[in-house]
Every structure is written in C-alpha cells, then in structure tokens.
Amino acid sequence: MGRSNRAARSPEPALTTGPDGRGHAQGPLTRPVGSGLAELRPDRDRPHAWSLLIDGAPQSLVDLADPTHLGFEYQRRLGHLIDLVAPPGRPLTVLHLGGGALTLARYVAATRPRSRQQVAEIDTALTELVRAELPLERGWQIKVRGADARSVLERTPEGSVDLVITDVFSGARTPAHCTTVEFTTLAARALAPGGWYTANIADGGALPFARSQVATLGAVFPELCLTADPAVLRGKRFGNLVLAAAHTPLPIADLTRRVASDSSHGRVEHGRALTDFTAGATPATDATAAPSPSPPPGVFR
C-alpha cells in the first residue's frame, strides 16, 4: 500500500494528562509525516494506550502506563523471541530496523533494564511525533537514527549486537533492498556470538514472498523458524509472519509453548516442515528482489 503526503491537518483534540504527567491528545490526532498521514488513535479499553496508523494501516500500539503490553499479535511473537534470546532480565544490545512508535524498544527497555538499543527510522517527522505524544521514559538507552535501515545496518560494527529486529515497511510493503541475501548477510555480520536475527513480514495467498524470505534467511543462517496464524499459513487471509534465524539452535519448544498460550492462535514451523513450506523457493538477491506484496483492499477495516 502506497502512502501520500497530505497537507490537511485535523483540529487539535483536547488534552489529557498521561502517566508521565504531560498533556497528551485525548481524541484521534493526525499529522502529515514523511511516509503519509499518521494517526494516533486512543485505545477504547486501555486509558493510556494509543495505536499508530499510517494512511489507515495499523503500525504500532503503545501503552504509556505499561510498556510490556504488546497489543498486536506479531509484536507479541517478537516479544516471545526477545524474552528467549537471553536469560530473563539480562541487558541486551538490540538493533531495531524500523521504528514506528518504538513499541518493541520500549518492551526491551522495560523487561531488560540497562539494555542498549539503536533504532533506524527513516521518517524523522514520525519520530518527532512519537517522541512528543508518546514520550520515552527517562533512563532508557534508546537512540533513534533518522536513516535508511540498510544504511544503518551497513555501518553497524561486526559482532556488536545480540538481536536484530527487522520491521521495515514503506506504506504497507517491505522495501526490496531490505529483503535480500546481501541484507541478511549484513545482519549476520552485526550479530555477536549466539545472537539472533528476527523479521516481521506480511504476505497472503500462496505466500510466495514469505517462502522466498525463508529461503533467503536459509542461505545465510543454518537455524530458522517461522511463526504465524494458521489461517495465514493456509493462505486463507493476508497477515504477518515472524521469522527468526541464528547460527546456533533456537529454543523451538519454549517458543512453541509461548505461542500456543498466546491469546491469538499461532503455529511455529521449523525443520522439515519449514523446508516443505519453502518448496524450492529461490532466495532474493539485490539483483532479483521485489517489495513485499500490497495488502488486498479492505484488509485493515
């Protein structure tokens, strides 16, 4: 889904006081940002929670009172991986490629104090909006760079991060240059021994993009798994799929238990089942890659 900049600005909503003591918008707030029209929409059930949408496509959910709350199913699945990459509470060095409302960076900071995190978010206007309306807590070591995800990855020192989380979308599509063997090789280079690479992607139907992405990660990493809603895996609906890859064995049993106990039903594919899922798909390269598919009309309604 493409995005267009719009000059129109909604009337300023009334303000309410958030848990940080600052005034925040009470009703939906919209702003044009670099990637389209951003909307912060209050959550009906959680008084300090906000959803971020870009041109109508849901991007993130943030609860200022509880940064450990992950409202989107794909974020909860990434949260499970964050929980399992190291013993509970141990600080991590994390590189987030794609920032949005910084939901996962907040989660890491809250669950693993003293973690050092860097976020690559090319849309600086979006980052300014998020920082103003959904401020980070003092003391969190989160640095946001206004740059392309791949360019930040290229400059990341070798062996310097425990976890790379790729959640890069332009509109509702992952850009081609962030889907390739070359990109994945850069991510593998950045990982410290025992580190993991994770990615959120979206696909539907016969899942050709997802199958190619599994093949792409498999060209670089020996250990892989994929987590998604069974309906997405069966091609019944368009949705998110979360990939994880490493040079050491992944905790498949622990991840499977966590996914099975989640409020949104999910399935973990690995080993032979994941090989069968790939079904001879070709890895994407810089010469052949295409963006992820556009969501079908009405998928976000």
Q: pLDDT tens digits, residue range 54-74?
A: 998 888 999 999 999 999 999
* Residue 50 in domain: no
**Predicted pLDDT at 19:** 41
CA distance 175 to 87: 33
Helix (H, G, I), strand (E, B) or coil at 201: strand
Q: How confident is the model at residue 22 (pLDDT cuts 50, 70, 90)?
A: very low
Q: How confident is the model at residue 4 (pLDDT cuts 50, 70, 90)?
A: very low
Is it the case that residue 205 has pLDDT exceeding 50? Answer: yes
**Predicted pLDDT at 280:** 87
* Residue 269 in domain: yes
For residue 89, give the CATH number of its domain: 3.40.50.150
- Which tokens belong to 213? 């992405």
CA 100 to each of CA 25, 62, 178, 236: distance values in angstroms, whole numbers, following the listed order:
18, 10, 16, 27
**Predicted pLDDT at 123:** 96
* Residue 211 in domain: yes
Q: How confident is the model at residue 83 (pLDDT cuts 50, 70, 90)?
A: very high
Considering only 18-27, 160-169, 211-220, which range has the smallest mean pLDDT?
Answer: 18-27
Is it the case that residue 8 has pLDDT exceeding 80? Answer: no
Residues ≥6 apart with Cβ < 8 Å to 21: none
Per-residue pLDDT reduced to its tens digit, 246-265? 999 999 999 999 999 998 88
* Burial of 208 per CB tally in 10 Å (0-12, 13-18, 19+): middle
* Residue 58 in domain: no
* Residue 270 in domain: yes
* Residue 42 in domain: no
* Residue 32 in domain: no
Cβ(191)–Cβ(161) under 8 Å?
yes
For the chain, what is the domain count?
1
Structural domain that includes position 234: 68-278
Helix (H, G, I), strand (E, B) or coil at 53: strand
Q: What would the mean pLDDT of 266-294 be, rounded to a whole number?
A: 96
- Which tokens belong to 238? 């368009």
Average confidence score pLDDT of the chain: 90
Sheet holding 239-246, edge to edge: 141-145, 116-120, 93-97, 161-166, 191-203, 239-246, 223-228, 267-270
